[in-house]
Structure formats: C-alpha cells, structure tokens
Amino acid sequence: MTTQTSTAETQRSRRALVAGSVGNFVEWYEFGAYGFFATVIAANFFSPDGSGDAESLIRTYASFALAFFFRPIGAALFGRIGDRIGRRPTLILVLLLMTGATTLIGLLPTYAAIGAAAPWILTGVRALQGLSAGGEFGGAVSIMTEFAPRGRRGLYGSWQSFTVALGLLAGAGLAAVLGSVLSAEALNDWGWRVPFLLALPLGLVALWLRLRLPETPHFERATTQVASPPGRETVKAIALGISRLMGWSAAGYTFLVVLPSYLQSSLNATFQQALIATVLANLGFALTIIPAGWFSDRVGRKPVMVTGSVLIVVLAIPLLNLLQDKEVGNGVKGVAVLLAGAVVGLLAGPGPAMLSEMFPTTVRYTGLGLAYSLSNAVFSGSAGLIIIELIKRTGNLDIPAYYVLVTSLVSVVGLLTLRNEHAEELRD
C-alpha cells in the first residue's frame, strides 16, 4: 500500500511539473518571439514609412516594457484568486487569456493597413498578455514546489526556468529558420506572423494538461485558513525578493532577448548572425538551469545564486567588449554568448524555489508572483528601452554591461541575507 501511495504521489508530482511547465513555455515562446522580431515589428507597426529606424525600435520596446508593467497587476489580481479559490482554476484562466492574446497578434493589421491605430491595438493586446503573464509565474511555481517531493524543490522549481529557456529557444529557432528560408520581403510582409499563430495549438495542448491537474496538497490543507491580503511581512518579503531577482531579471533579458536588436542596431550584425548568437546564449542558459536547481537542493540556494551574480559582475564588461572586437572570430564570440547564458542559468535554476520558500501558502501565489513580476517589469521589460535609448544618447556601446553589472551587485547584497531556507518545509 505504501509503495502504491508513493508511486501515485510521484506520478502526481510529475504531472504537475509538466502542466506547470507547458504554460511557461507558451508564455516565454511568445515573449521571445516578440523580442527576436522587434526590428520587423518596429517597421510594421511603429514606422509610418516601414523603415524600422531607431525611433520606431524604441517605440517597439516601449510597448514591450508596457506589457511587463501590466504583469504586477496580473500577479496581484490572479494571485489573490489563486490564493483564495486554488492554483488549478486560476492557471487555466491565465492560460486561456495568454493563448488568445498571443494568437491575436498574428492576426493584427499593420500601420500600412489601418494607420496610427495599429500600434495602439498592438499595445493593448500586449497589455492583456502582461496581465496573463503576471498570473502565470506565481501559479506555476506554486504547483511545482507544492507538489515537489521533500528535498527536491530546487530541482522541480528549476523546470519553470528551464521551460522559459526552451520557450526562448523555440522562438529564436523559429525566427532563425524563417529568416533563412524566407526573403526579407516575405519575412516583413507575413513571415513574422507565423510564431504568434502557432501559439494557438500550443495553448490547446497546455489547456488539456492543466484540465487534468489536481489541486495542490498544500492549498487543500490551507483551505481552512482565510487568505488575507498581503500584510507588512509579506510586503517586506516581496521587496527582499525583488532585490534578489534584479540581476537575474536584467542579465536574463539583456543577454537572452535584447541581444539580437543590440547586435543589429549597434554592432551592424545581420539578422541571421544576431539570432544565431541569441540561440547560443539561450542554449547556455538552458544547459545550467536544472543542474543549478538540483545542486541548490544539496548545498543551498545562497551559494549557487551568489556565485552566479558575482560571475555576472566580473564577466559583464569583458564579454561585451569581446563581442565588440572585430578582430575576434565568430567561434570565440559564440563561446562568449554561450557562457553569458550559462551564468544566468545559475540564478534561474534555484530562483523559483528560493522565492516559493519565502511565503506561506495563503499568500504564496500572490507574494512570489508580485516579487517576480515587479522585478521583471522594472529590470527586464525596460531593459531594451533603457539600453537602446542610452546608447542613442551617449554613444557608449558598453551600456548593456553596465546595466547588468549594477543590478547584479544589488542582487549579491540581497542574496547574502539568505538563510538555509532550502532545508525547510514549505509553510502551510
């Protein structure tokens, strides 16, 4: 009987892992696709003459940032729902909203078709995506870590970040394929729509998986408690969580998403070269996430995440200068971007479990969702806008390195306050 119970629990944990991961994949696949096609979207939606100049690219990243600033609203809204009625129904609702909004982007008319209304409509749809994305992280990490077997929360939580990497890789890979097989004219005309339309079948698969998901045992035990609004201690934990995530947020989006546009607009790389570099960075990211999460279950979140943050501080400027050096071969540059992604993975692996362990069950969905979404809104969503604008104003091509260096220094300070939280049980 004990063996049968153990087997059933293991199967349930794995089912929760897949159901939580697949929604993250869909979300980050789309966000990656938007970032990778930023220059094409700029020409189609934010440039009256279709030129895709620096000004239109800045407006594209402003729309990108706006969606991120809707994430905290979504985290608060869906977090409260998830802490009151359950993780499962909330994640189903969030997935439906994300899939619908993403598919709609692939159907939107461009500036050439309807004029100045086009960028406003696109921005509105991005806001809907931001709301749904804000509700995704808290719920997905909650079910992964609440279903995780004892002593394996780091490993299970790392799958949230791993599917982020897979989503970004899928978006980058598809963009690279489309950029290779389609002419520039076809890519700008209709090819960019393909990644967004593919979100519909992906979302339907994710919906089927989540409909089969049971409620988490931690939430079921906590149903006798009233999910009160976040109090002072929760607010303090959210602020601390943001400080611990700043470097991950800034470095992750700078190295993994903003890099293509930076290479094209500042270093005169071709679209294909920029995407290959981004695929390599995301590959490095994916390779270290799960090992980092697994290792944090054994030695603690603190040593793994502090190591990652310190490495970013030390390597940010040398890595960027290497990319800028015209005398350095493409092979060496490829290794550099692979390494950049791998270092970010040291933060992304233990990060979800670290956040989950900071909050009790009755406010976990809300608390970790807000910490993550606020950090991403400020330091990820604004990364492209800040970097491109500062380069334009100053002419300093080292801006991306300075950006991730400063934010990672703050994260080092926040992470040094971590206790041996990986050894504790999640609080009901």
Which residue type occupies 274? A
The pLDDT of residue 364 is 93
> What does the CA dihedral 346, 244, 373, 354 come to, rounded to 10 degrees?
60
Compute the radius of gyration of the chain from its Cα atoms: 21
The pLDDT of residue 72 is 92
Counting every residue, how long is the chain?
428
Q: State the Cα–Cα distance between residues 181 and 187, nearest whole angstrom.
A: 9
The pLDDT of residue 3 is 53
Closest listed residue to residue 167, CA positions, set 251, 296, 257: 257
> Counting beta carbons within 10 angstroms of the beta carbon of residue 120, is it exposed (0 to 12), middle (13 to 18) or buried (19 or more)?
exposed
Please tell me the CATH code under which domain 10-423 is placed: 1.20.1250.20
Spell out the SS3 assignment of the chain: CHHHHHHHHHHHHHHHHHHHHHHHHHHHHHHHHHHHCHHHHHHHHCCCCCCCCHHHHHHHHHHHHHHHHCHHHHHHHHHHHHHHHCHHHHHHHHHHHHHHHHHHHCCCCCHHHHCCHHHHHHHHHHHHHHHHHHHHHHHHHHHHHHHCCCCCHHHHHHHHHHHHHHHHHHHHHHHHHHHHHCCHHHHHHCHHHHHHHCHHHHHHHHHHHHHCCCCCHHHHHHCCCCCCCCCHHHHHHHHHHHHHHHHHHHHHHHHHHHHHHHHHHHHCCCHHHHHHHHHHHHHHHHHHHHHHHHHHHHHCHHHHHHHHHHHHHHHHHHHHHHHHCCCCCHHHHHHHHHHHHHHHHHHHCCHHHHHHCCCCHHHHHHHHHHHHHHHHHHHCCCHHHHHHHHHHHHCCCCHHHHHHHHHHHHHHHHHCCCCCHHHCCCCC
Q: State the Cα–Cα distance between residues 73 and 294, nearest whole angstrom.
A: 32
The pLDDT of residue 10 is 76
Which residue type occupies 312? I
The rounded average pLDDT for each run of 10 residues, N- to C-terminus, in the chain (428 residues) is 60 84 83 75 74 63 74 93 92 92 91 87 88 90 89 92 85 81 87 91 90 86 65 91 94 77 69 76 91 95 96 91 79 85 95 93 93 88 76 85 93 89 54
The pLDDT of residue 52 is 54
Domain ranges of the chain: 10-423
Q: State the Cα–Cα distance between residues 129 and 98, nearest whole angstrom.
A: 5
